[in-house]
């Protein structure tokens, strides 16, 4: 089984990159499932139902998120809809709208579970992602051995630690949130594919999706500055993972493609 995981979609340039790059990639790779992190898909922060439908129309099968998923008020009215192919981090408190994990059936009839978790270091003080992962995996394992985890976290140490903690119990742990792809993709000893960050899908001539000049001004001056999303040089960071029938990873490869003609 082949899975494609697309790094954080940032605004309209990210959506444009998926529309222009993903169809050809799917023809080439023939993945059984395409997953993408969408928490920044609406102008760099949040998600709307219109954009949700747009992204799925480009060939994405399922969407994960993170701390910015709540930035658009309308998310509260649809994130709990039945059959929604969108989840939020599972370690939000009990009663938070939406689901923290869900299962999907691939084109080949395989059931895959996707679990979304969020780190606590330099982010919100949520429930412990390690303990929440234990509870979720205990329940998920009764349904499928194919479990993909999106760990939306700030620090590399927390991500690496969770990767080792879950090695052999899930198919993959894919880090998101920092928008910068890392070079540490590997299959851990017990069969879990791991990468600290899958990267970003959006304007690559930017500071993690934003126009560079205001960000530099903020760093230099220390004063409040209005940030704007960049639209320059759209591209897509993504990871290809191959799994065996038992849900163990055989390989992981990260890539970046640019939108031709941009």
How confident is the model over 46-70, as a mean pLDDT? 97
- State yes or no: is 68 an active-site residue: yes
How confident is the model over 185-209, as a mean pLDDT? 97
Tally Cβ neighbours within 10 Å of residue 53.
9
The phi and psi torsions of 113 (rounded to 5 degrees) equal -100, 140
pLDDT recorded at residue 89: 98
Q: Give the confidence band of 262 by pLDDT, cuts at 50, 70, 90.
A: low
Q: Are strands 2-6 and 33-37 parallel, antiparallel or unpaired?
A: parallel
β-bridge partners, 102: 114
Specify the higher pLDDT residue, 36 or 124: 36
Does the pTM surpass 0.85? The reply is: yes
pLDDT surpassing 90 at residue 260 = no
How confident is the model over 36-51, as a mean pLDDT? 95
By the 8 A CB rule, do 235 and 204 touch?
yes
The DSSP string of 98-158 is: S-SEEEEE-TTS-EEEEEEEE--TTS---S-HHHHHHHHHHHHTTT-S-EEEEEE-S-HHH
pLDDT recorded at residue 46: 94
Q: At what angle do helices 129-140 and 156-166 cross, to 10 degrees?
A: 30
The DSSP string of 169-209 is: TBSEEEEESS-S--S--EE-TTS-EEES---EEEESSSBTT
By the 8 A CB rule, do 179 and 209 touch?
yes
Rounded Cα–Cα distance for residues 144 and 141 (Å): 5
pLDDT surpassing 90 at residue 152 = yes
Rounded Cα–Cα distance for residues 191 and 193 (Å): 7
The DSSP string of 9-37 is: EBHHHHHHHHHHHHHHHHHHH--SEEEEE
């Amino acid at each position: 089984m082949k899975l494609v995981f697309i790094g954080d979609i940032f605004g309209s340039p990210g959506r444009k990159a998926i529309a222009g790059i993903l169809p050809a990639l799917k023809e080439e790779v023939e993945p059984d499932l395409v997953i993408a992190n969408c928490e920044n898909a609406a102008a760099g922060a949040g998600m709307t139902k219109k954009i949700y439908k747009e992204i799925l129309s480009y060939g994405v099968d399922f969407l994960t998120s993170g701390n910015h998923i709540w930035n658009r008020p309308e998310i509260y009215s649809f994130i709990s809809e039945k059959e929604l192919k969108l989840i939020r981090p599972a370690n939000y408190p009990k009663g938070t709208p939406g689901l923290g994990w869900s299962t999907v059936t691939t084109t080949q009839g395989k059931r895959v579970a996707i679990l979304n978790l969020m780190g606590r270091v330099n982010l919100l003080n949520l429930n412990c992602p390690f303990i929440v992962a234990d509870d979720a995996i205990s329940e998920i394992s009764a349904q499928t051995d194919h479990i993909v985890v999106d760990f939306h976290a700030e620090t590399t140490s927390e991500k690496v630690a969770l990767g080792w903690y879950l090695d052999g119990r899930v198919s993959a742990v894919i880090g998101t949130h920092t928008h910068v792809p890392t070079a540490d993709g590997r299959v851990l000893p017990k069969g879990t594919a791991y990468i600290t960050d899958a990267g970003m899908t959006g304007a690559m001539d930017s500071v993690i999706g934003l126009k560079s000049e205001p960000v530099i001004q903020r760093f230099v001056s220390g004063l409040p500055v209005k940030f704007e999303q960049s639209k320059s040089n759209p591209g897509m960071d993504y990871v290809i993972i191959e799994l065996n029938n038992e849900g163990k990873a055989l390989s992981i490869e990260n890539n970046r493609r640019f939108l031709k003609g941009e």
